[in-house]
Structure 1
Amino acid sequence: MVMLALQWGGGEYPWNSATVIGLFVGFAVTMAAFICWECYMGDQAMVPIVLLRGRSTMLGIAFAFLFLGSFVIPVYYLPEWFQIVKSASPIRSGVMLLPSVCTQIFGSLVCGILAKHLRYYNTWLFVGSAFLCIANGLYTTFTVSSPSAAWIGYQIFQGLGCGFAAQIPLLTVQFALKNRPRYVPIGIATVLFTQYFGSAVMQSIGGAIFQNELKRQLQDQASLDNAQIEMLLNAGTLRVREVSVQAFPDHLADIIAAYNKSITTIFYLPIAGSALAFILVSGIPWVNTRSPQKDDMHYTEETDDLQSDKKTAV
């Protein structure tokens, strides 16, 4: 419901419409009911509350939500920028993403090799979120005349950031739950869910920002009326230049500048997300992966078994 509200708000329906407000209210009520039910079920819930008792798992899950959500925004909108602003074909825009893809693979390999020697996972989370935040900040400086060196170099930060930190929340949760193996699969599944859910939510918010900003820029900067704006929006990414040349060639430069401004505005969202993820890392305990783990959840397997038996008896 929340993603429908974000997608429709400002586009299909105004933000103050009953449909959009109803979707937000419905999401809030449903989420509150879900949380209450999970608390009532305790350790037998679909997402056991016990997973949120330790800082490592709780903050690792929150980091996964914010980090991957901040990563998918440039993954989706960089090809849009390449195709509209740089007039690249879909295949060409895919090739132009290779700096990010290659450095992401390289970063993952480096992280996998060095992680066991550094002993602390926190380092990778700090560096990865910092690199991703820097990359998104640099993307906001894009202009119509940005050279190849700019978008290639900026993607290196993005790829390394994702390669360094994307998989670390999974390792953090596994390490935090290693003395409670029954919760390891649930912990991994929860991290994966929050990663994809965060991606979907951030993408919906980014889409709403793009649609509203684009309409405003086309009106203010390109001086287009509502009918002309709808014509461009219906044309799609591939035909923006074609439709502009055919319908209003005198406004082509302003239209491209409006699209550039709208796309770069979106990157402020992942800046905030990755910066918040960086801050959350400071709350994750620094635990040496080679030393015996200290329990930060304040319970044991025996205690958990006793609680489960009591719950079953009730």
Structure 2
Amino acid sequence: MRDTVLVLGANGRIGRALVDAFAAAGWRVRAQMRREPGYTLPAGVSPVICDALDTAALIEAARGADVLVNALNPDYTRWRELVPPLAASVLAVARASGATLMLPGNVYNFGAELPSLLTETTPQVAHTERGQIRIALEQQMRDAAADGVRSIVIRAGDFFGGGPGSWFDLVIAKDIAKGRVTLPGPADVPHAWAFLPDLAQVFVAVAARRAELAPFETLHFAGETLTGAQLHEALQQVCGRPLKRGQLPWWLLRLASPVVPIFRALAEMRYLWLRPHRLDDTRLRRLIGEPPHTPLSRALAASLASIHSDAVVTAVAA
């Protein structure tokens, strides 16, 4: 019998990648979304059209599921309003179904003084509201383990690939068709990245070994660690031409913050571009072996192709 997974937020970037990865691995996949899918679902995937706050509908959708993935991604400016009730709904579904709950984590939990190497035991001392919300969310999962709810957090750096909606496409590669790359931070600061298709395959691999884990577990996916200069050079190689390098005008975001909430939210996260950091994936490797890793040139080419309709990529390394 094949295992069954219910992916919550399947219309989002990480949700789409997870649906594709689980389906490709032979799982029976149920894909929850608020509206009809904005893309063609893989063959055999069952759509579940309902709001993620409709707990009763989700409990029904999760009947018989072995794994439940919380890939819900509320609007960045509405986390305080939406994340707590969504988390409560998801935990109720996990408790009722007995499915193992999985969550994509991020590095917000470690605050402005985050060390250069992030392990699963690095203290979580977030100073931003979003970091505090993420810490509370994971703590609720940890507490629920005492009631028999098994859960796994897989933490990764900033996403790229899988379409628009990240720092990579909204800032760094936004004007690449015009021959320009925009860096959010100094060119010599290492930054953690995760290519979404690789991260999704990590979820599948960990889900297959879930019985070997503690009731609550956190794992880190290292992905790519790149300085701005290294990313710039890699993009030039993929595009096959020189690209001008500029800096994000943070002063403009701060100036507009009082009237543009998303700018205020983004400005709060500037520290992540000023502090060097990478994730240690030793525990993940111990569990699944060598993590999936698409060569950087191919990952960048696929990412650019997913956000630009014009031919910005003229040469792709094999």
The answer, yes or no, to whether TM exceeds 0.5 is no
More strand by share: 2
**Which of the pair has the greater relative contact order for Cα pairs under 8 Å at 6+ separation?**
1
Give TM-score, length-normalised by structure 1. 0.23
Give TM-score, length-normalised by structure 2. 0.23
For the pair shown, the structure with the greater C-alpha radius of gyration is 1
